[in-house]
A and B are shown apart, each in its own frame.
Chain A
Amino acid sequence: MTFAAEAPNVSFSHRHLLGIEGLSRAEITGLLDLSEEASKLSRQIDKKRDDLRGRTLINLFFEASTRTQSSFELAGKRLGADVMNMSVSTSSVQKGETLIDTAVTLNAMRPDLLVVRHHAAGAVQLLSQKVDCSVINAGDGSHEHPTQALLDALTIRRHKGHIDGLVVAICGDILHSRVARSNILLLNTLGARVRVVAPSTLLASGIERLGVEVYTSMWEGLVDADIVMMLRLQRERMASSLVPSQREYFHFFGLDYEKLARAKPDALVMHPGPMNRGVEIDSNVADDPQSVIREQVEMGVAVRMAVLQALARHLPNQ
């Protein structure tokens, strides 16, 4: 039995998923509809389908990741693919092999789908030019993380019923965040009002030109927000003089109940994970009923099944 037989037929004509940029509203909505079906499948006893039977999926991660990698692995397995995980940070790259050589080597093993995470912006696109299979960007530097934005949108849509007109506040380390960029692109395409909230040192130059309202105060930026999306702050940011200390950051930019009270009473709290409790988010807020952080993880598997399925339709059959 295939998932495709049960699922809506969506229009998605791309060979790769390299980013949200370039996707139309219809394509995004189609992927979300497909993900919705996949989420139902994931809640059944028999979660296995044959769509990717005989296909090989390689997870190629140049950066350590737990949830994204296991999410793609599960998604691939539920659709019947053979999944191989490669953590390249510990192998050939340390021997000096370039990204392109790694790509050519893997390509020779004839995978059908390649899921790639890399620390450099544009690296996944570069790799996609050198291989014959479909490539999915699982995060490239500070550029894009399209499946994260899709799973966030799916989670929002399941709770709010729509995305049009919602006020979404994305808070924290905008400068370094691929999650923020993909979400800005996707939410704008679907008609949300997007705000970014961060200290000026963590705002990317020219970010306002991406169609967002910029706030440097949580107390102002969260007013009447429907969605409060927190970003992870890496500890290195303290060392490079972008924020003075963990406690000062938490005081001004950490999501606690006091700041959350500025948002709408039914606002959703989201976080792409992994969380730094007590740095960007109060531990109790993270576990509050308003928080949909665990559901985001669940939707992650569904979105990745949908993406794999949509791309697999265009894989050659001979």
Chain B
Amino acid sequence: MNAPNQRAAARHIALVNARLIDPASGLDQLGGLLIIDDRIADLGRHVAAGAIGDAQVVDCGGRVLAPGLIDMMVSAGEPGLEHRETLATASRAAAAGGVTTMVCMPNTEPVIDDVALVDFILRRARDTALVNVHPMAAMTKGLLGQEMTEIGLLRDAGAIAFGNGKTSVANAKVMRNVLAYAKDFGALITHHLEDPTLGEDGVMNEGEVATRLGLRGVPAAAETIMLERDIRLVDLTGGRYHAAQISCRASLDIIRTAKLMGLPVTCGVSINHLTLNENDIGPYRTFFKMKPPLRSEDDRRAMVEGLASGDIDVIVSAHDPRGAEGKRRPFAEAADGAVGLETLLGAALRLYHNGEVELLRLLRVLTANPARLLKLNSGRLAKGAPADLVLIELDTPWVVEPDRLCSKSKNTPFDGARLEGRAVLTLVAGRPVYNYADQE
């Protein structure tokens, strides 16, 4: 494929002979897309070679051209954890995975609970990152669950949403106040779901597998109790609420009920919980240790059903880089988390290739839906929208090799996995930030 070079990229580029998929509008047709500077200027059948003047032409060879992926859950290591990841390395991983926008989690060192730190992330991202970066700010100071942060000022500074890292706010009064106060600013509250007392001893899903391994379990109720409580508080306050990651069938039922009640509730699921289950832990493989824990196969199937039915709004990579010092330990003592930016698309396409979820819906939860939740102008193929794009080769087989990942940490649960389909060209604001052909 002839990729545009950096210099010409900022002007006119025509991506022709593509299968245009825009989940926001339901568009799925052959055609071309014209980029002028950093925006989508035109798209459709009429954008074809010979009809677009002196634009640089890229023949997409019939591959899928879709909005770039928007990942609502990325730990990018800055500030304080640069030995695991930096905005620069995370953004390279994102670009290689077709992710053009990443939302960075606030559980850094220090915690992103102050305006100056939001500003720091934005400036570091501007100077070092290849893709769009939006910081998520802490909703309680130090993520301690006690005092609300300056939600209004943080939002004005550029915090795109508010969360509490990988801990739940146990205090219901604080949670109520956060939801009520955030509502006045239209701010999105995303929440990790794990009752801190029910989950405190657990290191994997509770049940037979944990019992055989002699490991303490986290019951599904640790998640559902917190989710049920939050739904009541949303009902009370009207705050805009997003369950950051659900992992079990019972949580899906709670989300469905909340949506039927007309509450402003959405939910996400990680790619890990859609494609892996507790049995993958096998003989204490710590790369499969995460929060929430990988659940049973029935729960995994429920997540896929929730995706297909539209009850699950967003897929996240839950990208969480961890070094060997955190992972080469006995399971109970090992760090939680897995990298995921580069494997997100390939792993998600498994669901499409297996016939479990149709392509348009799969891409919607990776693009248009997160854009809608975050109120971003991207995540769609439309005139005037940012030219954040990914060209996807649906059938390319590839093997995940940790050493070849761009991420600084190599803790992938897909080590050695054979995936089918991947990003072959990623553009951010009209500029190519990744080209698969350059990697070979």
- Spell out A's residues near B (CB within 8 Å): 21, 98-100, 118, 120-123, 125-126, 140-144, 178, 181, 204-207, 209-210
Would B214 and A205 count as touching, CB distance under 8 A?
no
Would B325 and A205 count as touching, CB distance under 8 A?
no
CA distance A142 to B284 in the complex (A): 13
B211 at the interface (CB under 8 A from A): yes
B208 at the interface (CB under 8 A from A): yes
Shortest distance from the beta carbon of B278 to any chain A beta carbon, whole Å: 11
Which residues of chain B from 178 to 231 have a CB within 8 Å of any chain A CB? Answer: 206-217, 219
CA distance A124 to B217 in the complex (A): 20
Shortest distance from the beta carbon of B394 to any chain A beta carbon, whole Å: 38
Q: Which residues of B sit under 8 angstroms from A121, Cβ to Cβ?
A: 213-215, 284, 330-332
Would A205 and B331 count as touching, CB distance under 8 A?
no
B259 at the interface (CB under 8 A from A): no
Q: Which residues of B sit under 8 angstroms from A100, Cβ to Cβ?
A: 328-329
B333 at the interface (CB under 8 A from A): yes
B262 at the interface (CB under 8 A from A): no
Would B330 and A123 count as touching, CB distance under 8 A?
yes
Interface centre among B212, B214, B325, B332 (most CB of A within 10 A): B214
Q: List 6 A-B contacts (CB under 8 A).
A: A121-B332, A122-B214, A122-B283, A142-B214, A142-B215, A206-B207
Instruction: Select which of B211, B216, B330, B333 is within 8 A of A206 by beta carbon.
Output: B211
Least CB separation from A100: chain B residue: B328
Would A122 and B211 count as touching, CB distance under 8 A?
no
Shortest distance from the beta carbon of A206 to any chain B beta carbon, whole Å: 3
Count B-side interface residues using an 8 Å CB cutoff: 22
Instruction: Select which of B208, B219, B328, B331 is within 8 A of A98 by beta carbon.
Output: B328
Q: Which residues of A sit under 8 angstroms from B331, Cβ to Cβ?
A: 120-122
Least CB separation from A177: chain B residue: B214
Q: Which residues of B sit under 8 angstroms from A142, Cβ to Cβ?
A: 214-216
Would B217 and A122 count as touching, CB distance under 8 A?
no
Q: Which residues of A sit under 8 angstroms from B328, Cβ to Cβ?
A: 98, 100, 126
CA distance A196 to B305 in the complex (A): 37
CA distance A209 to B330 in the complex (A): 25
- Spell out B's residues near A (CB within 8 Å): 206-217, 219, 283-284, 325, 328-333
Q: Which residues of B sit under 8 angstroms from A120, Cβ to Cβ?
A: 330-333
Instruction: Known contacts A98-B325, A205-B206, A206-B207; decide if A122 and B330 are in contact (CB<8 Å).
Output: yes
Interface centre among A126, A144, A209, A210 (most CB of B within 10 A): A126
Shortest distance from the beta carbon of B130 to any chain A beta carbon, whole Å: 34
Would A122 and B206 count as touching, CB distance under 8 A?
no
Q: Which residues of A sit under 8 angstroms from B325, Cβ to Cβ?
A: 98
Instruction: Known contacts A100-B328, A121-B284, A125-B283; decide if A205 and B333 are in contact (CB<8 Å).
Output: no
Q: Which residues of B sit under 8 angstroms from A126, Cβ to Cβ?
A: 284, 328-330
Q: Which residues of B sit under 8 angstroms from A21, Cβ to Cβ?
A: 212
Q: Which residues of B sit under 8 angstroms from A209, Cβ to Cβ?
A: 208, 211
Instruction: Known contacts A121-B284, A125-B283; decide if A99 and B211 are in contact (CB<8 Å).
Output: no
Would B207 and A140 count as touching, CB distance under 8 A?
no
Shortest distance from the beta carbon of B205 to any chain A beta carbon, whole Å: 9
CA distance A258 to B219 in the complex (A): 37
Q: Which residues of A sit under 8 angstroms from B206, Cβ to Cβ?
A: 205-206
Interface centre among A100, A120, A122, A207 (most CB of B within 10 A): A122
Would B214 and A178 count as touching, CB distance under 8 A?
yes
Q: Which residues of B sit under 8 angstroms from A118, Cβ to Cβ?
A: 330
Q: Which residues of A sit under 8 angstroms from B207, Cβ to Cβ?
A: 205-206
Q: Which residues of B sit under 8 angstroms from A207, Cβ to Cβ?
A: 211
CA distance A118 to B331 in the complex (A): 12
Least CB separation from A208: chain B residue: B208
Would B208 and A205 count as touching, CB distance under 8 A?
yes
Shortest distance from the beta carbon of B70 to any chain A beta carbon, whole Å: 37
Shortest distance from the beta carbon of B295 to any chain A beta carbon, whole Å: 13
Q: Which residues of B sit under 8 angstroms from A205, Cβ to Cβ?
A: 206-208, 210-211, 217, 219
Least CB separation from B281: chain A residue: A122
Would A141 and B208 count as touching, CB distance under 8 A?
no
Instruction: Known contacts A98-B325, A122-B283; decide if A210 and B211 are in contact (CB<8 Å).
Output: yes
Would B208 and A140 count as touching, CB distance under 8 A?
no
CA distance A209 to B207 in the complex (A): 10
Q: Which residues of A sit under 8 angstroms from B333, Cβ to Cβ?
A: 120
Shortest distance from the beta carbon of A70 to any chain B beta carbon, whole Å: 24
Q: Which residues of A sit under 8 angstroms from B330, Cβ to Cβ?
A: 99, 118, 120-123, 126, 141
Q: Which 10 A-B pairs have the closest CB atoms?
A: A143-B214, A206-B208, A120-B330, A122-B284, A142-B214, A121-B214, A123-B330, A204-B211, A209-B208, A206-B207
CA distance A42 to B129 in the complex (A): 70
Least CB separation from B285: chain A residue: A122
10 additional A-B pairs beyond A121-B332, A141-B215, beta carbons within 8 Å, are A21-B212, A100-B328, A118-B330, A121-B330, A122-B284, A123-B330, A142-B214, A205-B207, A205-B210, A206-B211
